[in-house]
């Protein structure tokens, strides 16, 4: 606009020095400049059939598809052919060791929603089924995860909930609203690694063709793994190091609490995010496990759009919780690694009792009178809390490294259809002690 004002001044000065015959031509040129400047100030519109959420706008290139057993891949005019259209193939069986393709298409598109239900839905059953997603004819899956963990239910069972990315309206189904764009094709499959058949599997995958691929689009990835006994003072990796540019979308974490720690609190560990060259120390660091999911001073069961705890079962030592970085995006431009410390807390009296029983732990700090913090951790050394030189009294709080059974799925977008992460762990590890 500054350039336009400059030209307006020049045109006005020049106008009065011209003969009448040239004034008309000059004014036409003047108006043309103004018109072009107005058009150039109009915001750029990138037309895309999925990402324009104006409900009343018509898109002549938009084509919607539902892939299910009634119409695999959602072919045009081919839905419900069996039984003369009278609900002939709403579900299918999945035998032991069998793998079924749920979607296999070529071209650009985006998966907008998925829905599944099956008869048996215990954590053990859901850990025995595997979902895999392949983008652009890649030989390796971008996502290979246990069924229930993919839908962020973790160790919970029969819970009705809804958040920004997943839902189970009455605790009997599994819905995903994760957006999954692909440039050249998509392939989704499910595999039965249980020791029995699945008698009724229902699903539909809703996707839309894209009229063109935007180079700013990224591919959805997810990584799940489990450590049945975390090592003292070694942070659990929610997401091992990956390379490329992308966005960490969030995580769903499950903890099977070690009963040897006599009911002391397990959730003092801080989430750490190592971004773009961070090595020894991260750029982003939290303040505690329950703090990371938006609560504090312990952790009960609750659900929200972006954070929640789908199971808080102290009697059975099981917790599952999630955090989605939607309003607070985490972008990375070269590499990314996400961890969570394995740390708990309790009164000094209780932690001394644990040390006396040789329970594996490493004291980290004491919160003394008037919330005074006394750091007592030194790598390679174990502080004996019974020593008279150690500050604090029996009622003061002690944070300590501990060992629990932890699993997590990390959701992230990446600029490429494949990743360098390890393959999914075998079923006996996934189902251990479930």
> Which among 225, 228, 230, 264 has a CA at the least distance from the CA of 403?
230
Reported as a single tens digit per residue, the pLDDT across 81-137 is: 999 999 999 999 999 999 999 999 999 999 999 999 999 999 999 999 999 999 999
Answer whether residue 12 shows pLDDT above 90: no
pLDDT at 346: 98
- DSSP, collapsed to helix, strand or coil, labels residue 141 as coil
Q: What percent of the chain has pLDDT over 70?
A: 88
Confidence band, pLDDT 50/70/90 cuts, at residue 61: confident
Tens of pLDDT along 406-427?
A: 999 999 999 999 999 999 999 9
- 16-33: per-residue pLDDT in tens? 455 555 555 555 555 555
Dist CA 146 CA 128 (whole Å): 7
201, 118 contact by CB (below 8 A)? yes
Ordered structural domains, the chain, with CATH: 64-342+404-430 (2.60.120.1390), 345-401 (no CATH)
Report helix angle 20-40 to 2-15, nearest 10. Answer: 170
In this prediction, residue 399 carries a pLDDT of 99
pLDDT at 5 over 60: no
More confident residue, 10 or 346: 346
Of the pLDDT bands very low, low, confident and very high (cuts 50, 70, 90), residue 59 is: confident
CA angle 200, 202, 208 (to 5 degrees): 160
* Tens digits of residue pLDDT in 193-236: 999 999 999 999 999 999 999 999 999 999 999 999 999 999 99
Q: What is the DSSP string of 66-98?
A: EEBTTBGGG-TT-TT-GGGGSS--S-EEE-TT-
pTM: 0.88
CB 377 within 8 A of CB 363: yes
96: nearest Cα among 189, 190, 191, 196 = 196
């Amino acid at each position: 606009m500054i350039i336009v004002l400059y030209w307006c001044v020049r045109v006005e000065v020049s106008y009065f020095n011209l003969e009448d015959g040239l004034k008309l031509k000059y004014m036409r040129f003047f108006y043309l400049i103004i018109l072009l400047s107005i058009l150039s100030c109009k915001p750029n519109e990138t037309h895309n059939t999925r990402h324009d959420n104006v409900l009343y706008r018509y898109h002549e290139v938009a084509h919607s598809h539902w892939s299910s057993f009634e119409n695999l891949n959602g072919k045009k005019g081919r839905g419900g052919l069996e039984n003369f259209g009278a609900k002939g193939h709403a579900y299918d069986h999945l035998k032991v060791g069998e793998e079924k393709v749920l979607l296999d298409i070529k071209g650009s598109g985006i998966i907008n929603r998925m829905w599944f239900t099956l008869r048996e839905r215990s954590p053990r059953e859901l850990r025995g089924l595997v979902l895999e997603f392949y983008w652009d004819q890649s030989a390796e899956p971008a996502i290979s995860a246990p069924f229930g963990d993919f839908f962020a239910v973790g160790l919970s069972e029969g819970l009705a909930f809804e958040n920004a990315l997943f839902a189970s309206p009455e605790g009997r189904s599994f819905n995903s609203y994760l957006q999954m764009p692909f440039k050249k094709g998509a392939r989704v499959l499910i595999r039965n690694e249980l020791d029995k058949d699945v008698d009724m599997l229902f699903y539909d995958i809703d996707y839309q063709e894209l009229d063109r691929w935007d180079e700013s689009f990224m591919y959805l990835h997810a990584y799940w793994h489990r450590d049945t006994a975390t090592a003292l003072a070694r942070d659990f990796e929610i997401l091992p190091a990956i390379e490329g540019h992308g966005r960490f979308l969030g995580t769903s974490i499950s903890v099977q609490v070690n009963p040897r720690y006599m009911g002391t609190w397990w959730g003092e560990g801080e989430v750490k995010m190592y971004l773009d060259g961070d090595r020894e120390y991260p750029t982003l660091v939290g303040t505690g496990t329950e703090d990371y999911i938006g609560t504090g001073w312990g952790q009960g069961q609750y659900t929200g759009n972006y954070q929640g705890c789908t199971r808080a079962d102290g009697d059975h030592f099981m917790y599952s919780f999630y955090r989605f970085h939607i309003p607070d995006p985490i972008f990375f431009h070269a590499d990314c690694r996400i961890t969570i410390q394995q740390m708990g807390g309790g009164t000094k009296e209780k932690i001394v009792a644990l040390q006396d029983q040789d329970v594996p732990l490493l004291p980290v700090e004491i919160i003394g009178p008037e919330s005074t913090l006394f750091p007592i951790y030194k790598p390679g050394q174990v502080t004996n809390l019974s020593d008279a030189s150690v500050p604090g009294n029996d009622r003061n709080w002690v944070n300590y490294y501990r060992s629990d059974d932890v699993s997590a799925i990390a959701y992230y977008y990446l600029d490429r259809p494949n990743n360098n992460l390890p393959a999914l762990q075998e079923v006996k590890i996934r189902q251990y002690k479930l």
